Amino acid sequence: MRARSFVSVALAGLVLAPAAAAEEPTTPPSVRLCDLARAAWESKGAEPRAGLAHARCEHDAGRHARAHAILERVRTDARTGDAERAELDALDASLAWSVTTLTLTTSEAGADVSIDGVSLGKTPLAPQVLDRGVHRLRVDKPGFVPVDRELGMEGPGLTLDLALVPRTHDGVLTVTAPRGAQVLVDGKVVGAGAWTGRVAAGRHAIAVRSARHEPFSTELVLREDETREVPVTLSPAAPGLPIWAWVTGGAIVLGGLVAGGVLLATQTSARPYDGPGGSLGTVPQGLPLRRF
């Protein structure tokens, strides 16, 4: 009876406080009633009986995890008598099918954990009592990829072990090219045809080469954690010898001309024959001719 009297007093205060209601027009009346019950509990020095009234208000408002937390605080209060403990145990038993427990561990200590936007503190954390239903979990730590996931908390409890992944400051790049075409990233061959890989964030040069197609090249800036796809359509090469054949053939011809010029210059600079009694290209007089 005394617990319900606190709720009645809080409700009367809610009715007599139109100014407070005007400031929070979107807050449900049950929530505002619980806020008043909490204020009454705190104003009485967290007196156990007022705490029970606050817990019952949270229970009736459907915020069962809050009610459980208040009951645990009242339970550890040395001023809580036998009558209050009996009422506490009965109320806590009615919460058994309305709350669940999340046991969370992470590979890295000191990560910030929040549920539905409400901070729970840093890891490691004690098991957390939550209302049954769907919740949004977020785990953040500088230098690591944040975890943001939806949790369905319908059973009696959930144990979750999260491995935080170091942030690598890179992105995912996919190049789709014709089958057999070489794919180059920053001048290095990384694959043929369709290729996907992680590359550092920043500017990169993309090229695709094929023997029967015109070459393709482009540049792009990949942002951190970005996924980018580069579709490539190659144009058929022009008829005739490819450019590399003309370049190779020209180099061979030029090399031959240079070698021939050097040989000619060497022969021109040789000294002519200056033998006895004659000169280069003549037969000395008086020399008998022999037939073989």
CATH of residue 203's domain is 2.60.40.10
**Structural domain for 9, as ranges:** 2-93
For residue 35, the model assigns a pLDDT of 85
For residue 19, the model assigns a pLDDT of 44
- Considering 65, 93, 121, which residue would you say is the last residue of a domain? 93
User: Which residues on neighbouring strands pair with residue 205, listed in sequence order?
Assistant: 219
Does a structural domain hold residue 252? no
For residue 130, the model assigns a pLDDT of 92
Does a structural domain hold residue 82? yes
Does a structural domain hold residue 191? yes
For residue 292, the model assigns a pLDDT of 46
Q: Are residues 89 and 103 both part of a single domain? A: no
For residue 28, the model assigns a pLDDT of 79
In degrees, rounded to 5, the angle at the alpha carbon of residue 289 between the alpha carbons of residues 283 and 292 is 125
- Considering 189, 205, 231, which residue would you say is the last residue of a domain? 231
Does a structural domain hold residue 272? no
For residue 271, the model assigns a pLDDT of 52
Q: Are residues 183 and 158 both part of a single domain? A: no
For residue 162, the model assigns a pLDDT of 93
Spatial distance between the Cα atoms of 66 and 68, rounded to a whole number of angstroms = 5
For residue 155, the model assigns a pLDDT of 81
For residue 254, the model assigns a pLDDT of 58
Spatial distance between the Cα atoms of 217 and 222, rounded to a whole number of angstroms = 16
For residue 7, the model assigns a pLDDT of 45
Domain count, the chain: 3
* The model scores a pTM over 0.85: no
Task: For residue 6, count other CB atoms closer than 10 A to its CB.
Answer: 23
Ranges under pLDDT 50 in the chain: 1-3, 5-24, 262-264, 268-270, 273, 277-281, 283, 287, 292
Q: Are residues 8 and 43 both part of a single domain? A: yes
Q: Are residues 68 and 23 both part of a single domain? A: yes
Spatial distance between the Cα atoms of 113 and 86, rounded to a whole number of angstroms = 34
